[in-house]
Structures are given as C-alpha cells and as structure tokens.
C-alpha cells in the first residue's frame, strides 16, 4: 500500500471520527428550581448519586437504583443502552460548580447526617452520558452510526427568581400598585407596618436622596423576609431581594413600591425608584433570563406542598398564587409565546418530601400539586406532575389504632433523636382543598433526620420516584 494511499485512508478515518464526535453529541439543559425549602439541593445530590451508582455499581455489578429509567434504557435483549456516565470537567463555565461531592459527604456523615443549606445562588454540574441510540432514533435525529454522547447540564437556581417573571412585562407604576395592594392586606400588613408608615412620610416631589431610597429598600426587604419566615408566604417580589445571588447589596436594588408620585420629575425620589426598577428588569433579563433561562431545554420545579398545607390556609393560598403565576409563564414558554420565539420542551412540577405521608396518600399529594399550579397537563405530555422523596427517611407501616383497627403510618427518626417511631401526619386533600380541611387541625409534618448511608459514587441513595421524573423529563431524548 502506497504512502499516499495510507495518508488518504488515515485522513478519511480522521474526518469520519471528527464527524462522529461533532454530530453525535447533544446537550440537554435541565434547570432545577423551587421556592425556598423545597429541597432543590437534596434532589440534585440524589439524582446525580443514583445515576452514577446505576452505571458504576459495586465490583462491576450495576445497581438498579433507578428502575423506570433502566427499563427505558434497555435494548431488545435487556442490555442497558447507557454505556458510560461520568461528571464532566468544569472547563470555563461562568456559573459556579454544583458542589456535589461536598454536599453528598455532608448527607452521608456517619451517625450525624445533616441536611444541606438552601440554594441562594446558581450552580451547575454537567454529566456526560454515552448512550446507544434506539433503533431508528439516530436516523430520525440525523445522527451518524454508533453511540452518542448526551451532555446533561444540570442548573440549580433559587425559585424565588421565578416570581419575577411577571415583572419583566410590568411598569414600575403597575408593579407598585399590585405590590402595595397586597402589602396592605392581612397577613402582610402586620409585617410591613414600619415600611407602610415610612411611605406616609414621603412627598410627591421629594428629592432623590440616596439615604432615603436605601432606607425604604431595607424596610421593604425586611417586610418581605418576615412574610416569608414568619408567615410562610411565597408570592414575594422582587425575588432577588430575598435571594440576591452574586449581586449582593448593590445600588440599583435600592428601590421599593410607591404610588405617591405618578408622574415624577427627573431628580426626584419617584424618578430614582422608577429608573432603578427599570434597571433591575434589564439586569435580570440580561444576566439570567436571556443567557440562561432561554437556553433551558427542560425544567423541573420542586414544590413543598406538605409544608404549605402545614403552614395553614394563608400560606397555602399564597404558595398557590406563586405557583399559578409560574405555571402560567411556563405554559406560554411551552407554546413559544413568551419571550417570542423561545420554547421549552418539558416542565415537570414535583411535590417533594413524599415520604412524610404514607403510600395511600401520595396520589392525593400529586393531585393537590396539579390544582395549585392551576393547569392541566400540557400538549403532547410536555407538562407533568409528580411526587418524590429525594432521600427517603421513612418506611410505610400498619399499626393498631386505639379502636383496634389498623392505621397506615410512616416510620422514621425525628431530628435530634436516635430511635425510629411511627407518625400519622394527617389527611392530604385530593386536588382542591375543601373548606372543611381548614376547620380541622392542620397537617402535622414531622422534621425527620436523613438516613445514614455509605459515601462514594458507587452507592445509591434510597428515594421515591426520582426515576419517574427522569423518564418524564428526558425520556424522549434518550
């Protein structure tokens, strides 16, 4: 064989391999969010850990940690089409890396496991999956022959940022009217009295003094914090006043709702507040919604439905309002109507902490979540509703009640204790919450300790229904 022929053959093979590398790579961007205390961090830790354990296994034996996903990835002979999975090096991404290893080690802390801190800024981690396509799937997608690489970009960000979606289309005057109307009603009024009193001291032509704007901002932010922490409210705007992320306390955040100067002149306080509101909207769009939010293929929204029920009627209705707004925004994104030309492929709404109620009530939990979002499943199954426990802390059991009948309970270890004991949290409504529900004692939600488990990627974390969510969100692409 001539040298020229050898060079031609090697060059052709190199070009083929390069084409395979480029053509057979797909990136799926999955954003995981939820309002505070919904369990975003734990969800991602468990998801990543169980995916790694499913592929790496122990002593070369794969573990069936995600059975529904494993069944979806099986070929005609029952062999897994998921050939390899690993965490991709971070590279030059601008978003901080999701600290999976550190967070998992904290959960698996021997005799004293601990829940991780809540999310206050974005973080991302990418999984690299080598997948054998289903028959006919590669041709339909335009891929060449052979296994393909699926890059699964997982982004964790505060759900409070989602409540700002409606603000992007509002004027300062319209937003102020809506915010103040809500703030003057119970229970918000009790927590916002100092801020509302401050507003009464302002004059329409007041100069745009920085100290006045900053003082009003701090009073308003404190009112929002108290509404969240003391009343369990969730419809609180702007979301970044509570979860500022990497910005910190910067001057363009120093605004607050005020309707006392409807047509402010330049240099007045009203003009300063309006300009900062506009700057906030532009910054949110430029730094998050345009570069990141618009790039998501799939979205998982976690919801602490049980926590909202436990907090009482007012907190539940407020959480329902927040979810209704988020659901409406996603409905438009699913249809490509907002922003123009952008279209998300699937949104999964997920009720977390499902292990805190027994198995007979978990479908009720899903139906209540669906009613809170106020949306029927989207076209072509692109919107779905689920219940999960990212780290299962309980088992289901039957125990004899006082009248001798058997009662269904969950059994777990309360925080601060060492022994397992049974809990009967109470009834979960099925769909719309009836008036009679609020006339009875609220759902009793125990604070449970995470179970101890072995560290390392080859060992799974026990869960409920994570595999169901993965199939719903990623199944069509795998």
User: What's 125's domain CATH number?
Assistant: 3.40.50
Tell me which residue of 40, 58, 65, 114 sits closest to 463, measured CA to CA: 65
Strands, E, within 2-145: which ranges?
Answer: 25-34, 82-87, 123-131
Model-level pTM? Answer: 0.86
Q: Does residue 133 sit in the same domain as residue 197?
A: no
Q: Does residue 29 sit in the same domain as residue 122?
A: yes
C-alpha span between 270 and 206 (Å, rounded): 8
Q: Does residue 92 sit in the same domain as residue 31?
A: yes
Q: Does residue 95 sit in the same domain as residue 207?
A: no
Query: Considering the domain boundaries, does residue 330 fall inside one?
Result: yes
Range in 86-95, 182-191, 360-369 with the lowest mean pLDDT: 86-95
32 neighbors 302 (Cβ within 8 angstroms): yes
Place of tokens 């974005």: 122
- The torsion region of residue 456 among left (phi > 0), alpha (psi -120 to 50) and beta comes to left
Q: Which domain holds residue 345?
A: 24-157+292-394+448-477
Query: Considering the domain boundaries, does residue 16 fall inside one?
Result: no
Q: Does residue 240 sit in the same domain as residue 299?
A: no
| CB contact set of 247 (below 8 Å; sequence gap of 6+) | 240, 253
Give the pLDDT confidence score for residue 376 in this predicted structure.
Answer: 43
Given a cut of 50, is residue 241 above it in pLDDT? yes
Given a cut of 50, is residue 7 above it in pLDDT? no
- Identify the helix (H) or strand (E) that includes residue 410: strand 406-412
| Peptide bond connecting 23 to the previous residue in cis, omega within 30 degrees of 0 | no
Given a cut of 70, is residue 121 above it in pLDDT? yes
| Peptide bond connecting 336 to the previous residue in cis, omega within 30 degrees of 0 | no
Q: Does residue 37 sit in the same domain as residue 132?
A: yes
| Peptide bond connecting 187 to the previous residue in cis, omega within 30 degrees of 0 | yes
Tell me which residue of 173, 176, 200 sits closest to 263, measured CA to CA: 173
Give the pLDDT confidence score for residue 17 in this predicted structure.
Answer: 43
C-alpha span between 190 and 78 (Å, rounded): 61
162 neighbors 329 (Cβ within 8 angstroms): yes
Report the pLDDT averaged over residues 119-143: 76
Given a cut of 80, is residue 456 above it in pLDDT? no
Which tokens belong to 70? Answer: 């494993």
Q: Does residue 137 sit in the same domain as residue 181?
A: no
Q: Does residue 95 sit in the same domain as residue 153?
A: yes
Q: Does residue 107 sit in the same domain as residue 180?
A: no
Strands, E, within 328-388: which ranges?
Answer: 346-351, 383-387
Torsional sign, CA 162, 168, 174, 176: positive
332 neighbors 165 (Cβ within 8 angstroms): no
Tell me which residue of 40, 48, 23 sits closest to 127, measured CA to CA: 48
Given a cut of 70, is residue 319 above it in pLDDT? yes
Q: Is 422 helix (H, G, I), strand (E, B) or coil?
A: strand
C-alpha span between 245 and 9 (Å, rounded): 54
C-alpha span between 471 and 252 (Å, rounded): 42
C-alpha span between 388 and 26 (Å, rounded): 28
Q: What is the pLDDT of residues 293-306, one digit of tens each?
A: 667 789 999 999 99
């Amino acid at each position: 064989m001539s040298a020229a022929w050898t060079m031609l053959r090697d060059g052709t093979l190199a070009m083929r391999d390069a084409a395979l590398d480029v053509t057979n790579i797909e990136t799926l961007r999955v954003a995981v969010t939820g309002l505070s205390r919904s369990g975003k961090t734990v969800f991602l830790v468990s998801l990543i850990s169980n995916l790694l354990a499913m592929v790496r296994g122990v002593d070369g034996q794969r573990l069936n940690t995600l059975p529904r996903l494993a069944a979806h990835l099986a070929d005609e002979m029952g062999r897994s089409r998921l050939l390899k999975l690993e965490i991709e090096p971070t590279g030059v991404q601008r978003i901080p890396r999701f600290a999976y290893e550190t967070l998992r080690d904290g959960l698996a802390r021997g005799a004293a496991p601990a829940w991780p801190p809540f999310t206050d800024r974005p973080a991302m981690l990418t999984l690299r999956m080598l997948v054998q396509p289903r028959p006919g799937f590669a041709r339909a997608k335009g891929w060449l022959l052979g296994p393909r690489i699926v890059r699964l970009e997982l982004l964790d960000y505060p759900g409070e940022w989602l409540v700002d979606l409606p603000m992007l289309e509002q004027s300062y005057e319209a937003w102020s009217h809506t915010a103040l109307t809500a703030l003057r009603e119970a229970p918000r009024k009790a927590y916002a009295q100092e801020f509302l009193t401050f507003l009464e001291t302002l004059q329409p032509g007041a100069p745009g003094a920085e100290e006045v704007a900053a003082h009003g901002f701090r009073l308003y932010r404190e009112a929002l914090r108290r509404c969240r922490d003391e009343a369990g409210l969730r419809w609180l705007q702007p979301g970044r006043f509570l979860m500022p992320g990497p910005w910190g306390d910067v001057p363009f955040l120093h605004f607050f709702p005020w309707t006392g100067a409807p047509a402010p002149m330049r240099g007045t306080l009203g003009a300063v507040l309006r300009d900062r509101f506009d700057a906030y909207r532009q910054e949110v769009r430029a730094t998050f919604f345009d570069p990141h939010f618009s790039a998501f293929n799939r979205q998982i929204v976690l919801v602490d439905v049980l926590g909202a029920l436990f907090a009482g009627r007012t907190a539940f209705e407020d959480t329902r309002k927040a979810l209704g707004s988020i659901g409406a925004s996603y409905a438009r994104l699913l249809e490509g109507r907002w922003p123009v030309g952008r279209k998300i492929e699937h949104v999964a709404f997920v009720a977390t902490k499902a292990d805190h109620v027994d198995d007979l009530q978990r479908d009720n939990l899903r139906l209540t979540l669906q009613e809170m979002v106020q949306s029927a499943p989207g076209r072509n199954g692109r919107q779905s509703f689920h219940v999960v426990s990212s780290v299962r802390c309980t088992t289901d059991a039957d125990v004899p009640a006082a009248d001798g009948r058997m009662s269904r309970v969950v059994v777990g270890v309360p925080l601060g204790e060492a022994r397992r004991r049974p809990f009967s949290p109470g009834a979960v409504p099925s769909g719309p919450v009836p008036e009679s529900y609020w006339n009875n004692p609220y759902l009793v939600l125990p604070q449970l300790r995470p179970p101890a488990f072995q560290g390392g990627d080859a060992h799974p974390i026990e869960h409920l229904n994570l595999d169901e969510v993965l199939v719903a969100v990623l199944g069509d692409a795998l």
